[in-house]
Each structure stands twice: as C-alpha cells, then as structure tokens.
Amino acid sequence: MFKRFHQLYPADSMASDQKIYRASTTAPVNIAVIKYWGKRDPTLNLPTNSSLSVTLSQSDLRTHTTASCSSTYRKETPEDSLLLNGKLEPLTTPRSIACLRSLRALRSELESTNPSLPKLSTYPLRLASSNNFPTAAGLASSAAGFAALVRAIADLYELPQSPTELSLIARQGSGSACRSLLGGYVAWDKGSRDDGTDSCARLVAPKSHWPEMRALILVASAEQKSVSSTAGMQTTVKTSGLFRQRVEAVPQRMLEMEKAIREKDFEAFAEITRKESNSFHATCLDTDPPIFYMNETSKMAIRAVEAINKEAGRTVATYTFDAGPNCVIYYLEKDWDFLAAKLDLALDGKEGWSKERTSDAGGLGVGNERVEEGLKNGVSRVIMTSVGEGPISVQDHLIDEHGKPV
C-alpha cells in the first residue's frame, strides 16, 4: 500500500505538490515631479514622454501584497484571484492578464532549465492585498498596487530579474507602477522600441543620496468623480493642440531635473516641479472637452506655497498635482519648522497634521486669510511623509499556510 502510494505520489513531489507557496511584499506610492500623461501605445502602456518621480516612504503609504500559489488551489479556485482590501477583485482585465502572463513565462523558463523546481507557473495564483491609506483619497494606489503584485509574484517565483527588468512587467499593469519598483528618485524612460522593451524604470538616485526630501500631502475632498487618467490622457493626446509642445519640452526638463537631484539643488527641483505640474494641468484644460483635476482647494494650496516662499525670501516648498485635487508639497527637512508655522493656522486639527515644531504658528500672514480659509474648508486630511525605499519583502502574510486570507 505504501509502495503504491509512493509510486503515485513520490515523497518529494507530494510534499511540493500539496504545499502552499507564499511570498509577501510591501510597495510604495510614488508622486511624479515630471508627469506621465499620454500613451503612444495604450496596450503596452508605452508613454509619449519620460517621467520622473519621488518614491514615498512606506511607513505612511504602502500596498501590502501576498502572492500565493498551490496545486491544491486547482480544486477550490482554479482561476487566479485577488482579494483587495477584503473584496474579491477580478484578475481578468487585460492589464492584470498581461502582468501574470509575463511573470508566469519567466517562471516557466526557470522551470524548464531546472526540472527539479516545482511547476509553480502552472498553479492558480491567490493574491491578497491591502493599503494602509484610503483608496478613495485618490493617491496613485494603482502604482503601488501593481508594483506590489509584480514584486510579490516575482518573489514567489524566485525570479532573478532586476527591479528594472520587472518594471517592464509592472508598466503593463499601470504605467506609473514601473516607478514604484525602485526607491528614491526614479526615472521612467519612455524608450523608443515598438515592443516597449526599453520603456522601464531607472534609478536616478537612491533615497540615501538626498534623504532630506519631505512630502506633505493635502488631501482635498473631491466633490465629484474625475475623469480617469487612462481615459483622460488619451483624449488629451487626440484633442490638445498644446500637448505636442509639452511632449517636446519634457526631454530637456528630464535632464534638468536629474541634474537638480544629482546636485541636491532644491531651488531647481522646486521650479521644474511646479512648472511641470502646471504644464500638465494646462494640457488637461486644453483637452476637448476640457479636464479639470484641480479645484478651488488646489488653487489655495498653490497660493499658500507662493506665500510661504515669498515670506521666506527663498524657495522652501514646491507643489505638484496628479490627476486629482490633492496637493503634494515637497520641501526639505530643515525647513519643516518654518513651513509648519506658516501652515498651522490652516491645517490645525486636520487628521495627520503634526504639531511637532519649535517655532510659533504665525500663519500665512495678512492678505492670505482667504487662502487659509480655503484650506481649512477644503483639506480633509494631511499625510506627512518623505522620500522612501522600494518594495520590501515581509514575512507578514495576508494568506495563511492553508491558503486562506488572514
């Protein structure tokens, strides 16, 4: 009997065949200072221009994802599945399929060169994922989400590919996700090949090069659902006359931004960042029909930054807006006290706002009452964070050893 069983299920094989394989990672959000807007190939997510972002700390904003697979899943849930913040999401979108297919192909290669490896590429995948921030806040959750998905499955499959190589896969899930596979200051080079094999993330500088960079996110209550960035950017490409000029201007801007980061020149970083954001939103407005992502709260945040820099007599802060009304203010650690004192009257009492500072809260000063009032009314919460690392492997699994969500 034992022999017969052994023949059917050889010991090694049996062990591996019944096993629940798991790998978990956290992945960061990134906020672009040179924006991705417009695809030259919508299927492959190939952009019309290169972009550049700051990866934000995962202490404050991160997606936590566990990837798991097992032959035993075949009987229960033969389809790949994803539990996102406790809700079952389909993995049947073309973007998810593209990511899973690429990762399985890489695993399959490994398995074919080393036949002793378990055939994980043939097992159903069971994923679980959760964010430590509200998805509704409109904080580039898809970037962290797809970066975590790709990184977790790559770890599960024990793939040898570098983050840059994996970024090619994450890019197909969500363009900006490719930049979340690296920490610090990250470029996404648009590439020139039709198959997109040179359109990937590249490290401009690690966090350690310029660790003083801080980000203060003013989460603005959006009154209505905005145009999705996927739909919006392609309408811009098709209808905006000004868009071409923007695309032509980006290469020079990329060079200047990389130089600013290399030289830790905040003044230059700040100028490019704010002009870039405004140029991006200008092409949104030049779209037909026009797209408005910024609202009155966003404008007040801009005016606040302008007032703070004017008061300081130098550039202590800059702003950028993604496809939504939230303002991301970049500043350097050393200027926190000054910034905090200026913003305290407007942000006092908001969730996430810290009181830790040494100087008195003087507010934005005379003439800026309307700005302070606008922020008071329009900012729903604040996130204080900083430049951070790329994805981190963790042992805290969202799927237990029996394959069940925890």
Q: Which stretch binds its own copies (CB under 8 A): 141-149, 169-177, 257-265, 267-275?
A: 267-275
CB of 356 to its own copies, least distance (A): 30
Nearer Cβ to its own copies (83/222):
222
Q: Which stretch binds its own copies (CB under 8 A): 133-141, 175-183, 186-194, 238-246?
A: 238-246
Residue 100 identity (one-letter amino acid): L
292 binds its own copies (CB under 8 A): yes
CB of 329 to its own copies, least distance (A): 15
| Region class of 38: left (phi > 0), else alpha (psi between -120 and 50), else beta | left
44, 144, 302, 399: residue in contact with its own copies (rule CB under 8 A) = 302
Q: Which residue has the tokens 């950017």?
A: 233
d(CA 239, CA 231): 12
Nearer Cβ to its own copies (211/290):
290
282 binds its own copies (CB under 8 A): yes
The 326-365 contact track toward its own copies, x by CB under 8 A, reads: ----------------------------------------
Nearer Cβ to its own copies (29/300):
300
370, 393, 404, 406: residue in contact with its own copies (rule CB under 8 A) = 370
22, 151, 281, 342: residue in contact with its own copies (rule CB under 8 A) = 281
Encoded tokens for 377: 């009314």
Nearer Cβ to its own copies (286/400):
286
For its own copies, the binding residues in 197-236 under the rule CB under 8 A are 223-224
314 binds its own copies (CB under 8 A): no
Q: Which stretch binds its own copies (CB under 8 A): 173-181, 187-195, 200-208, 275-283?
A: 275-283
d(CA 99, CA 66): 16
Residue 10 identity (one-letter amino acid): P
397 binds its own copies (CB under 8 A): no
384 binds its own copies (CB under 8 A): no
Residue 79 identity (one-letter amino acid): E
The 51-90 contact track toward its own copies, x by CB under 8 A, reads: ----------------------------------------
101, 244, 314, 334: residue in contact with its own copies (rule CB under 8 A) = 244
Encoded tokens for 395: 């042992």
Nearer Cβ to its own copies (92/224):
224
203, 249, 361, 394: residue in contact with its own copies (rule CB under 8 A) = 249
Nearer Cβ to its own copies (110/249):
249
278 binds its own copies (CB under 8 A): yes
CB of 253 to its own copies, least distance (A): 9
Contact yes or no for 64/129 (Cβ under 8 A): yes
Nearer Cβ to its own copies (275/404):
275
Nearer Cβ to its own copies (247/398):
247
Q: How big is the site for its own copies, counted in residues (CB under 8 A)?
A: 30
d(CA 45, CA 96): 13
d(CA 328, CA 379): 12
Helix (H) or strand (E) holding 320, with range, is strand 317-320
241 binds its own copies (CB under 8 A): yes
Residues 6+ away with beta carbon under 8 Å from 284 = 37, 232, 236, 290, 291, 292, 293
Contacting residues toward its own copies, per CB under 8 A: 223-224, 240-242, 244-246, 249, 271, 274-275, 278-279, 281-283, 285-290, 292, 295-296, 299, 302, 306, 370
